[in-house]
Amino acid sequence: MPNLLFLCITITICLSTFDTNFLVQSLTSPSDIEALKAFKASIKPSSITPWSCVASWNFTIDPCSHPRRTYFLCGFTCTTDSTHINQITLDPASYSGSLTPLISKLTQLITLDLSDNNFFGSIPSSISSLSNLKTLTLRSNSFSGPIPPSIISLKSLESLDLSHNSLTGSLPNSLNSLINLHRIDLSFNKLAGSIPKLPPNLLELAIKANSLSGPLQKTTFEGSNQLEVVELSENALTGTIETWFLLLSSLQQVNLANNSFTGIQISKPARGVESNLVALNLGFNRIQGYAPANLAAYPLLSFLSIRHNSLRGNIPLEYGQIKSMKRLFLDGNFFDGKPPPALLAAGATVSGSLGDNCLQVCPVSSQMCAPAQKPSSVCKRGYRGRT
């Protein structure tokens, strides 16, 4: 009997040892391991600090093995069957290096997030092989060169954030073929040219602080019926903002400040069409002519800035009657005459400024009237004096 028991224990141990070895060998696919090794190898060793995620990537064990007690502690996740890497979400640890083209071998990748590090060089065009990728976030690094045109092959992409880098060139054509894309943030780069036709299901477009030029084109926005946020401030956009633009049915927040627009046309939303516009910033442009009274027909508008343009004439009485209005900035223009009394009334709920205009009446007792009106000599020279 004692001998038999001994035999059983031995067999159990043998079996479980065999079992573990077998599992280890069948874990992460070799090409995923190769890609992850290459990913680490293209980060400068000197930038991998001891307690960072990547420092724990020691390939003497399998990356997807469990539990992870010593190595591969963080920075990525594996599929539930432990065969593939499905997310790389790096810690912000000042990693410096390039993004290896072999990233394309991680075919099951759903998220690639390298934000807040010091990756540099170009975004490899092989990235287009990541057909399952939903989230690409390279925010706040030092990537340069163009956005690879092949990016339009990322058919699963839902969110693209390449903001705060040094990307140059123009936006890829055929961006509209990315039908799952909801959010684009390319702000704070050096992108130039015009905006191509947008993806049909886009909710948020942010390309603040680049070098975009030319007018807003109807073809860009055609079919973008879900677009809620347009943030294009601090570019070099020109021309007239035409009536179709604010009539885009889902628009909620629009920031076109600090461009070189010269005109604006605004019509009332069509009867029966709800406008969701809440905030409109057109400040610091070169818009001439009269203030568009039709803005008062946007029932949810609560923030309006047309400050620092070259507008003249009376401030439309309607501006005093926008019930939803909370903050109104009309300062730095050439408005004259008397402002709408409702804006200056005691107990008015609107804050903002009517200052730095040519208004005849604007009592300093009203917080809306700071800063002071322009000197009459400037007003006499008129808005034409301003270029």
Ligand X SMILES: *[C@@H]1O[C@H](CO)[C@@H](O)[C@H](O)[C@H]1NC(C)=O
- Site for ligand X, rule CB under 6 A: 58, 60, 233-234, 255, 257-258, 281, 284
> Which of 69/271 has CB closer to ligand X?
69
> Which of 134/307 has CB closer to ligand X?
307
> Which of 255/357 has CB closer to ligand X?
255
Q: Least distance from C-beta 350 to ligand X, angstroms?
A: 20
Nearest 10 degrees: Cα torsion 63, 65, 67, 69: -40
> Which of 129/255 has CB closer to ligand X?
255
> Which of 189/233 has CB closer to ligand X?
233
Q: Least distance from C-beta 248 to ligand X, angstroms?
A: 20
Q: Least distance from C-beta 308 to ligand X, angstroms?
A: 8
Q: Least distance from C-beta 256 to ligand X, angstroms?
A: 9
> Which of 307/374 has CB closer to ligand X?
307
> Which of 54/106 has CB closer to ligand X?
54
Closest CA relative to residue 100, chosen from 130, 122, 116: 122
Q: Least distance from C-beta 41 to ligand X, angstroms?
A: 12
Q: Least distance from C-beta 2 to ligand X, angstroms?
A: 38
Q: Least distance from C-beta 280 to ligand X, angstroms?
A: 12
